[in-house]
Amino acid sequence: MDRKIIHIDMDCFYAAVEMRDNPKLRDIPLAIGGPPNSRSVLCTSNYIARKFGVRSAMPSSVAIRKCPHLTIIPPDFKKYKEASSIIHNIFKRFTETIEPLSLDEAFLDVTHSEYFNGSATLIAKEIQRLIFIETRLTASAGVAPNKFLAKIASDWKKPSGLFVITPEEVDDFVRPLDVRKIPGIGKVSASKLYDYGLTNCEKVRAWDIEKLETIFGKMGKSLYYKSRGVDKREVVSTSDRKSISVEHTFKKDIADISICINFISGLREELVERVKKYQQKYGTEKKIAKAFVKLKFQDFQTVTVEKKKEDEFYTDLWHDFNFNLELSEHIEELAKIAYQRGQRPVRLIGIGIRLEQGVIGPKQLKLI
């Protein structure tokens, strides 16, 4: 059965909140992030700034070079969370099946909704209208038979747009779709696809699934189905967090791993606090799968090293999460391995834990 999925994506959310609250910011290039003389990156930018090539996740120093008259202000997450709460409460008026992706983005399954005689298009329009009335912010919406297409659709007519892909239109829409439009395909993956002549979904369809998997690994299977407009993922209402982590960006690149490791002590306290907050909200049913360390080097290349210890170690740790000597030594060992793989000055260090995910299929039994 075809589902009715809506993807709502707020338009330059953080910047939009600031422009709403301060009219002086509305007609100038604006970005949210840290100062350009720091190692900070941008959270987002308004559409005026985007005309100069300013984008989210861009270093503030680079953004200023692209747009010298750019105004950068620090984020106010308390204010953004208040607006997000109003928006997500609007979603709940139409369906209980909501999958939040962030403060400003969510999937909604309205397949069985009785509002507007079950019209997903009219529901999306009403959600956009209510968001604007109650927050004075605009949202873009995509309506489609699955999550993959709904996400693409929400970006099709930004800002403040609505784009609908009906089941009958899926094939005609997907065939000429540039592979760069597929969520999850970044610059590196797109470049590799282009090298093989796979510039759009129609050309991807000419390859069988075995060939795609051989060359592109797990991404190959995803490409096979998405190039045909197929996505069987359900909208998942419950939280299924995969990891909990903290990071620190150095003001200056660090060339000595021992100095990097010294910063881990501060990160450990922050990680403990985040884990405990997660447990207070979601309980302790999950388990730790492994610990990991991430290093981002001077050239922005990232190395992540993760390693599993015996199950009993993580079980005891999870129910009284704290950094004992053994875990501290474990994390330091991972940091040293990560550094050896890069062996150049470090820009950022992060530590965290992976959470055990649901297992599909039979479980491997231990031999005793």
Residue 1 has pLDDT above 60, yes or no: no
Least-confidence region, from 112-121, 141-150, 274-283, 312-321: 312-321
> What's the pLDDT at 41?
84
> What's the pLDDT at 185?
87
Residue 148 has pLDDT above 90, yes or no: yes
> What's the pLDDT at 195?
94
pLDDT confidence tier of residue 3, bands split at 50, 70 and 90: very high
Top pLDDT among 183 and 238 is at 183
| Residues in CB range of 33: below 8 A, 6 or more apart | 40, 41, 42, 43, 60, 63, 72, 74, 75
> What's the pLDDT at 366?
40
The answer to whether 139 touches 9, Cβ cutoff 8 Å, is: yes
> What's the pLDDT at 368?
39
Of the candidates 97, 88, 89, 86, the one whose C-alpha atom is nearest the C-alpha of residue 120 is 97
Question: For residue range 333-357, what is the model confidence (pLDDT) as tens digits?
Answer: 999 999 999 889 999 999 999 988 7
The answer to whether 320 touches 276, Cβ cutoff 8 Å, is: no
Q: How many CA atoms lie within 13 A of 58 on its CB side?
A: 21
**Which residue pairs from 112-117 have beta carbons closer than 8 angstroms and sit at least 24 positions apart in sequence?**
113/4
The answer to whether 117 touches 109, Cβ cutoff 8 Å, is: no
Residue 317 has pLDDT above 80, yes or no: no
Least-confidence region, from 24-28, 72-76, 90-94, 296-300: 296-300
The answer to whether 71 touches 29, Cβ cutoff 8 Å, is: yes
> What's the pLDDT at 311?
63
pLDDT confidence tier of residue 28, bands split at 50, 70 and 90: very high
The answer to whether 83 touches 16, Cβ cutoff 8 Å, is: no
Residue 278 has pLDDT above 50, yes or no: yes
What average pLDDT does the segment 242-255 reach? 87
Which CATH superfamily groups domain 243-355? DNA polymerase, Y-family, little finger domain (3.30.1490.100)
> What's the pLDDT at 367?
40
Where in the chain do CATH 3.40.1170.60 domains reside?
Answer: 14-77
Q: Which CATH number fits domain 5-10+80-170: 3.30.70.270, 2.60.40.420, 3.40.47.10, 1.10.8.60?
A: 3.30.70.270
First-to-last alpha carbon distance for the chain, in angstroms, is: 46
CA R_g for the chain: 23
Where in the chain do CATH 3.30.70.270 domains reside?
Answer: 5-10+80-170
Residue 354's φ and ψ, nearest 5 degrees, are: -90, 140
Q: How many CA atoms lie within 13 A of 272 on its CB side?
A: 14
144 forms beta bridges with 5
Q: Residue 171 and residue 66: Cα distance in Å, rounded?
A: 39
Q: Give me the CATH topology for the region 14-77.
A: MutS, DNA mismatch repair protein, domain I (3.40.1170)
Please give the CATH number for the structural domain made up of 175-226: 1.10.150.20
> What's the pLDDT at 360?
39
Q: Residue 55 and residue 47: Cα distance in Å, rounded?
A: 10
> What's the pLDDT at 229?
94
Residue 119 has pLDDT above 60, yes or no: yes
Does the annotation mark 270 as catalytic?
A: no
Token reading at 321:
């999460």
The answer to whether 130 touches 8, Cβ cutoff 8 Å, is: no
pTM score, two decimals?
0.75
What average pLDDT does the segment 316-341 reach? 84
Token reading at 261:
């490791």
Token reading at 107:
């999937």
Residue 158's φ and ψ, nearest 5 degrees, are: -65, 150
What average pLDDT does the segment 127-148 reach? 97
Highest mean pLDDT: which range of 34-48, 120-134, 340-354: 120-134
Question: For residue range 170-217, what is the model confidence (pLDDT) as tens digits?
Answer: 999 999 999 999 988 888 889 999 999 999 999 999 999 999 999 998
Residue 361 has pLDDT above 80, yes or no: no
Of 82, 96, 99, 105, which one is the catalytic site residue? 105
Residue 291's φ and ψ, nearest 5 degrees, are: -105, 160
Residue 273 has pLDDT above 80, yes or no: yes
Q: How many CA atoms lie within 13 A of 81 on its CB side?
A: 3
Where in the chain do CATH 3.30.1490.100 domains reside?
Answer: 243-355
Residue 155 has pLDDT above 50, yes or no: yes
What average pLDDT does the segment 82-104 reach? 94
Residue 362 has pLDDT above 60, yes or no: no
> What's the pLDDT at 358?
58
Residue 15 has pLDDT above 70, yes or no: yes
